[in-house]
Amino acid sequence: GQSTMPFLHGFRRIVLEYQPLVDELLGLLATPGKARQSSLESPACLDSDRSQLSAVRRVLERETHSPFYQEGVSYALLKVTELGLVPAAEILLEFGADLSFEDPVTYYTPLHMAVLRNQPDMVELLVHHGADINRRDRPLPEEGLSLPVFGYLVGGVDCFPSCLLGCHPVVLCLTDCSIAGKTALLHALASSDSGQIHNTDSIRLLLEGGADVRAATKDGDTVFTYVIYLLGEMAYSYTEEEAEDIERFCFRVTQLLLAHGANPSECPASESLTHFCLKSFEDYFPLLRFLLESGAAYNCSLHGPSCWSGFHITFEHLCCHLSRFENETYCTDLIQKGQTLLELMMASSQAIQLPSNFEVNTSSCRFHGEKVQTLFCSLKQLERSPQALKHLCRVFIRQRLKPWPVDDKIKALPLPDRLKWYLRIDHAAAGHEDL
């Protein structure tokens, strides 16, 4: 069967047996007068008008009972999927193209191809026709590629058919860690970079179609691994405008993931988006606020504060940075955000969770150590003493107003401004004095 077909044997079957059908179908969809390879590489050079689609139908009707018809029409679906030719894909599906057919070189299915090529219309079509959203690309042979296939991948392509050249994502095959086995959703997130960060529609369609947000690769990569990577790299690798685009993209994708049940506070800490944002809360404050107001745990959601604690990370970050930076504006902003963050965590539940024997050493703070100590004392008092009525009311009201954006909902309440400020928890706003 297809699943047990030897790696090189599958490659040869394209070359020797169903290549002519694939070439004929792709040739009908190519713009006349253009070289075949360039016409396959550029969607702008393709013209799927009625006459071409009618010709495709005639070929499929003629070849329906020919040997290897199923393989040929299915591989043709892979190719038109890469090119985003939705009308042609619809015809191929009508004539029996297999949605689970794997590319013999990369082991990608049509849905993987559509995601990697950022073709949301094609993603929608394939999902509508019942593509297995959570199917993974198969791991490549651990013993390595056979010599002929390796030669093809690294550039020895002269002896291979034109239908295998051009837009084949072989570079992705080698650089995308596909040996770990990714679902379409993991591929969509992994392919999001400075050159392709507008694939939000594909991600949304996959999630709406039932993509598993808990899927992980063999190497432990999760849906948040790629969001964390982008956030970590944007300050060093991109222009300010690109960084803003990526930040918006990460925010939108995180919204989608949380709306479909993803947990940003799970172990290990290296794969936790909440943990990542806490470590540099001044840089990712809007996203961190969104996470907390959407119900994300401020501790490890599996093991509690003994594993990692948002309170511990926040105070550690404050002490570290206030011992190194003398800029008054920076320090003031850092303390304001730190205080806001601490109160957001305190207001997320009636009983706060701290690590056992939690203490903060402010002696390392060269600047504003007394302010950090005051924040810590307020936290410990809340842990040890019965909660004040105003705190309980704030927790109750904010819980009722979740999910995000809580601020906008508070502003709409018929309450005095000072009470709204207390409920909003925004220490960059006016009215910082305690009620």
Per-residue pLDDT at 433: 41
pLDDT band at 78 (very low <50, low <70, confident <90, very high): very high
The answer to the question of residue 420 being in a domain is: yes
Per-residue pLDDT at 98: 96
What is the extent of the structural domain holding 278? 263-435
SS3 content of the chain, % helix, strand, coil (to 5): 60, 5, 40
The answer to the question of residue 57 being in a domain is: no
Per-residue pLDDT at 148: 45
The answer to the question of residue 174 being in a domain is: no
Would you give the end-to-end CA distance of the chain in angstroms? 72
- Number of domains, the chain: 1
Whole-number Å distance between alpha carbons of 22 and 78: 10
CB atoms within 10 A of CB 8: 15
Mean pLDDT value across the chain: 82
Averaged pLDDT, 95-120: 92
Looking at residue 45, the DSSP 8-state letter turns out to be G
The more confident residue out of 237 and 179 is 237
Averaged pLDDT, 202-217: 96
pLDDT band at 362 (very low <50, low <70, confident <90, very high): confident
The answer to the question of residue 421 being in a domain is: yes
Q: Is the peptide bond before 403 cis (omega within 30 degrees of 0)?
A: yes
Looking at residue 136, the DSSP 8-state letter turns out to be P
Averaged pLDDT, 55-65: 92
Q: What is the dihedral of CA 401, 404, 408, 413, to 10 degrees?
A: 0
Token code pair at residue 185: 């959703």
The answer to the question of residue 423 being in a domain is: yes
Express each pLDDT in 283-317 by its tens digit. Answer: 999 999 999 999 999 999 999 999 999 999 999 99
Token code pair at residue 172: 């992705």
The answer to the question of residue 286 being in a domain is: yes
DSSP string across 236-301: HHS-HHHHHHHHHHHHHHHHHHHHTT--TTPSSGGG-HHHHHHHTTTTSHHHHHHHHHTT--SEET
The answer to the question of residue 397 being in a domain is: yes
Express each pLDDT in 269-280 by its tens digit. Answer: 999 999 999 999
What pTM did the predictor assign?
Answer: 0.81
Averaged pLDDT, 16-38: 71
The answer to the question of residue 146 being in a domain is: no
